[in-house]
Structure 1
Amino acid sequence: MIGAWEVILYTFIGVSLGTVTGLIPGIHVNTMIPFFYILNPSFETCIVIVALMVTHTFLDFIPSTLLGIPDETTALTVLPTHRMLFEGRGLEAIKLTAVGSLGSMLVSFLIFYPVYIVMPKIYNFLDPRMGYFLILISAVLILTEKGIKIIYSLFVYFLSGILGYIILNSHILPEDQKLFPVFTGLFGLSVLFFSLKNRSSFPVQPLDFKLLIPRIDILKSVIKGSLAGMFVAFFPGLGNAQATVLVQIIKLKKRIHDNRAFITACSGVNTSNAIFSLLALYTIKKPRSGAIIAIQKIMEIDRGTLLI
């Protein structure tokens, strides 16, 4: 077992790498994983991966807010951070994400032991019924839309299912390479094409970015984000995007700071998911992200390593 100073050193390395992946668009946590296999797959590497993964969730909203900017005519239909950016409150939005991530990390630590006791039992109960559970979640997500958008949502839902079936049952590429071109097309090239088509600018962002949201609403958003991220970490088929929509359903009365509460909850989901995905690996032996899969392949998680 390594000493305390070594843990701090490798944590610092992970934080530094997480800062890089969080601030540079297009670089994700999973992008760094292959290098760890090449350099030194060890317990120390796992410390770096965990620190990298959590740090990334604190910072990845910065480039998405400042660089992933839509056209002014579509700003109201995209992320609330972009709306605030066009209102001159982009720095406040970034501060909200930091508050949400930090608050979620603290809440996650507070509920870590109760989750360790309870969630495996809930998962074991739902596991034989997981298909029905995911269908229920899908129905809830689709019904959050209104009118004709429900039909559009159903169409996209079945279309994505067909795409997944075709990809997973194709033999064009090896098993471990099937998803890479799909994700590149869905999340990489599409964003590049959209950015090339839309040339937009945003107003000057004043340095006065006081949080225009009551503290009680920040607390509520942090708790909701933490709980949503916890469920994402334990259950298959659910991602941060789905959890974010579910968080949006349980929202406050319509007020001017609804967007701010939503942003806080979103960042909380990401950080909570990163923390509890490690607990899910230990308790139910199910990795839910590329980073956690890497840790699983490098070493066996026991209670001592989990606490470190």
Structure 2
Amino acid sequence: MTLFSTFPPLSLAIIIISMAITHSFMDFIPSIFLGAPEDDTFLSILPGHQMLKEGSAHEAIVLTLYGSLVGILIILIFAFPFIYLIPLIYSAVKFAIPFLLIFLSIYLILREEFFITSLIIFLFSGFIGFSALNLPVKEPLLPVLTGLFGASALTLSLKNKTEIAKQKTLPLKKITIPKKEFFGASLGAILSAPLCSFLPGIGAGHAAIIGSELIKQTKKSFFVLLGAINTIVLGLSFITIYSIGRTRTGSAVAVKEILQEITLSHLGVFLLVIVLSGSLAFFLTLQISKFFSRKIGKINYTTLTKLILFFLTSIIILFSNWLGLLVFFTSTFLGIFTIVSGVRRTSLMGCLLIPTIIFYLV
């Protein structure tokens, strides 16, 4: 007996969408509290870790939650216009995708103060990403992203003997952001998030960079921007797979395979599920964040960091074999060099951009 025979296809699709939306709300808890990123949350590590050291990690989480709620509202407002706009935009730019990615790469490098160092890091991370994808490594991006964005920051926190302040869990009414900054973050998300829905190699992190360049962000509004983009990208993935048959998320692909054909009525159900699951996820994430805030100050952070590094290494050996472990160590060293050199870690996204550019050009 399979899941398909136990549950109707639409019910399975609803479960997947609910889990995916909930995940987009909770995404920032490991990156802010533990420094363990995914490719969509790596930008939150440095400002998030700083707020953790200041005792304000819960505030950072709440700001991303505000952003995710805004993201759901934006999805509802723009869902049906996007159904017609995305095919037009995609058909106009699909032949220029590699050149758009090259332009974005050059932009990311030139915006750095130390752009020569940034170029070297970008190319080297691209070499690591391309090599991992072409070596007999299972789950090749796992050791690459974990090393570049997770283990590198954790290793440095060990060296610097990071001290964690007592965490404050302020009530929601006291975690505020000026209206101008809030609307700036929302506008930045609206302008940048749709790019991630169909451009390969462009993740939520890249969209956040673009959004923060188009509309200047403060530290608080940047967390709102990250949360909004993370949820918008996921929500739009179900629209793009309906309108152009392409998507950036595994959850949308799974839904497509289960339903075979996605109709307009399905999209209406999806939007309702997004609203309901997002509302529940907001309060669930709030409670989990409060729990972490209460407990993390009672834990020896150095010991916790060592345990996390051991866990990450074990996971990589388990899922990516010993060759993946070599990729992991190499990526970690490059990530450490990037942080120490003062170059923003967006340069490390060459690990995804360069393989994608090569794929389209060759």
TM-score where L is the length of structure 2? 0.63
Q: CA deviation at 1:110?
A: 0.6
Q: CA deviation at 1:158?
A: 2.3
Query: Structure 1 CA distance, aligned partners of 2:197 and 2:7?
Result: 26
Answer whether contact 2:188 2:212 (CA < 8 A) is retained. Answer: no
Query: Structure 1 CA distance, aligned partners of 2:195 and 2:119?
Result: 24
1:307 aligns with 2:265: no
The one of 214, 229, 236 aligned to 2:200: 236
Q: CA deviation at 1:214?
A: 0.6
Answer whether contact 1:104 1:268 (CA < 8 A) is retained. Answer: yes
The one of 157, 164, 187 aligned to 1:202: 164
Secondary structure (helix, strand or coil) at the match of 2:70 reads: helix
Answer whether contact 1:97 1:263 (CA < 8 A) is retained. Answer: yes
| Segment drifting more, 202-211 vs 238-247 | 202-211
Secondary structure (helix, strand or coil) at the match of 2:197 reads: helix
Q: CA deviation at 1:124?
A: 0.4
The one of 187, 191, 199 aligned to 2:145: 187
The one of 51, 74, 83 aligned to 1:107: 74
User: Which residue does 2:126 correspond to in 1?
Assistant: 161
Query: Structure 1 CA distance, aligned partners of 2:142 and 2:6?
Result: 26
In the alignment, structure 2 segments of 5+ residues that lack a partner are 37-43, 270-362
User: Which residue does 1:23 correspond to in 2?
Assistant: none
| Segment drifting more, 273-282 vs 196-205 | 196-205
Shift in alpha-carbon separation, 1:289–1:84, aligned structure 2, 3 A: same
The residue identity in structure 1 corresponding to 2:143 is: G
Cα root mean square deviation, aligned: 2.8
Structure with higher RCO (Cα < 8 A, 6+ apart)? 2
* 1:1-308 matches, cutoff 5 A: 42-68=9-35, 79-146=46-113, 148=114, 150-170=115-135, 172=136, 177=138, 180=139, 182-188=140-146, 191-192=150-151, 195=154, 198=158, 200-208=162-170, 210-252=174-216, 258-299=218-259, 300-308=261-269
Query: Structure 2 CA distance, aligned partners of 1:36 and 1:84?
Result: 43
Shift in alpha-carbon separation, 1:153–1:54, aligned structure 2, 3 A: same
User: Which residue does 1:25 correspond to in 2?
Assistant: none
Identity %: 28
Answer whether contact 2:128 2:144 (CA < 8 A) is retained. Answer: no
Shift in alpha-carbon separation, 1:244–1:166, aligned structure 2, 3 A: same
Q: CA deviation at 1:43?
A: 2.4
The residue identity in structure 1 corresponding to 2:88 is: K
Answer whether contact 2:188 2:211 (CA < 8 A) is retained. Answer: yes
Query: Structure 2 CA distance, aligned partners of 1:233 and 1:67?
Result: 28
Query: Structure 2 CA distance, aligned partners of 1:137 and 1:86?
Result: 33
Shift in alpha-carbon separation, 1:236–1:95, aligned structure 2, 3 A: same
Q: CA deviation at 1:57?
A: 1.1
The residue identity in structure 1 corresponding to 2:169 is: L
Shift in alpha-carbon separation, 1:39–1:152, aligned structure 2, 3 A: farther
Q: Spell out, residue by residue over 1:13-54, the C-alpha distance to the aligned partner (whole angstroms, 9 max, x if none).
A: xxxxxxxxxxxxxxxxxxxxxx97898683221111111111
Query: Structure 1 CA distance, aligned partners of 2:258 and 2:117?
Result: 43
Shift in alpha-carbon separation, 1:194–1:78, aligned structure 2, 3 A: closer
The residue identity in structure 2 corresponding to 1:88 is: G
- Where does structure 1 differ by over 4 angstroms across 4 or more consecutive aligned residues? 35-41, 167-170
The residue identity in structure 1 corresponding to 2:263 is: D
User: Which residue does 1:5 correspond to in 2?
Assistant: none
The residue identity in structure 1 corresponding to 2:119 is: L
Query: Structure 2 CA distance, aligned partners of 1:80 and 1:38?
Result: 47
Query: Structure 1 CA distance, aligned partners of 2:24 and 2:164?
Result: 24
Shift in alpha-carbon separation, 1:137–1:126, aligned structure 2, 3 A: same
Secondary structure (helix, strand or coil) at the match of 1:213 reads: coil
TM-score where L is the length of structure 1? 0.73
Structure with the largest fraction of helix:
2
Query: Structure 2 CA distance, aligned partners of 1:129 and 1:279?
Result: 22
User: Which residue does 2:337 correspond to in 1?
Assistant: none
Query: Structure 2 CA distance, aligned partners of 1:56 and 1:92?
Result: 19
